[in-house]
Structure 1
Amino acid sequence: MIDATPYGRMLGMKVMVAAPGTAALMLPAGPALEGRPDFLYGGVIASLLEMACLALVAQELGDVRRRIKPINMSLDFLRGGLMADSYAEARIIRMGKHIANVDAVCWQDDREKPIASGRVHLLLG
């Protein structure tokens, strides 16, 4: 779903096979995504985390007609994201009737060395 959105396509995001109860995306590095020299732009990393959370909640709801809207995001940039393919995986912390709380982690070569993590609160319309 997310890889079919205009923004997801523009960034080149791809849905990956993920463990049950999670969603995973891959973002290929490219010159258009560079921030400071040799590093991914932080906004692109934030977008990858957010899109992984959105993808998981949409997958869990199974109803594409429901509107899912971010109402709050908290991101931690843990190290610089190099110009390399990046991955994000999201998991639901709590799913209520109106709000979903989702965590996500982003890494590059080694999942045990994340470059960023985040918490996203989504309004379920």
Structure 2
Amino acid sequence: MGTSLSALVEAQEYGSIDSLVAAIPYAELIGVEGMQLGSELIFKLPRNPDNIGNPSLPAIHGGVIGGFMEVVAMLEVLYETKVTTLPKVVDFSIDYIRAGRDQDTFARAEVVRRGRNVVNVSISAWQTSEDTPIANARAHFLIKPVSAVSPLSG
């Protein structure tokens, strides 16, 4: 991935959600948008006909929903932990609750537990109301501790 250290640091220090999204090519590909509400991040997957998996409903492809939620979790880890390298997925588990209709989808992630090398994240995705999620997920990411990141040499 073409993630630059400066883009991650800028995003984390100045709250630039767009810079964080730009650090993950798949997030840009599917059109993820982020917004900050107080200290929380909310992410949006805009309606896109290319994301439809079942045209007869129509419903968003489950892989797109899962990918969106994984990206949201990674973005939350980057934002909350201030690590300067992309986290690596160790485990990702998703529970699909209802069909994701052909409309905007939203997600929020929360760092549940942070160890020195592993972060546990909970993710929820919804469309019309956060109280009626379309999917819930759990993820574990391997991170490099900030003290283990070597400074750039010039």
Q: TM-score, normalised by structure 2?
A: 0.75
Larger radius of gyration between Structure 1 and Structure 2: 2
Give the gaps of 5 or more residues in structure 1. none
CA deviations over 1:58-106 (Å, ceiling 9, x no partner): 0112232x23101101100000000000001000110010000000000
List runs of 5+ in structure 2 lacking aligned partners.
1-18, 145-154
Identity of aligned residues (%): 30
Kindly provide the amino acid, as one letter, of the partner of residue 134 in structure 2.
I
Which of 32, 48, 53 pairs up with 1:35?
53
Aligned pairs for 1:49-88 (under 5 A) are 49-64=69-84, 66-88=85-107
**Further displaced range: 92-101 or 2-11:** 2-11
Distance 2:111 2:41 in 1: 10
Question: Aligned to 1:98, which of 110, 117, 122?
Answer: 117
Q: Secondary structure at the match of 1:35?
A: strand
Aligned-partner residue type, residue 36 of structure 1: N
Instruction: Report the CA distance between 1:24 and its aligned residue.
Output: 2.0
C-alpha displacement of 1:9: 1.2
Count of residue correspondences = 123
Of Structure 1 and Structure 2, which has the larger fraction of its residues in helix?
2
Distance in 2, matches of 1:72 and 1:18, equals: 28
What RMSD over aligned residues (CA atoms) do the two structures have, in Å?
Answer: 1.3
> What is the CA distance between 1:30 and its match in structure 2?
0.9
After TM superposition, the score normalised by the length of structure 1 is 0.92
Moved over 2 A (4+): none
C-alpha spacing 1:44/1:2, structure 2 compared with 1 (3 Å): farther
CA contact (8 A) 2:92 2:140 kept: yes
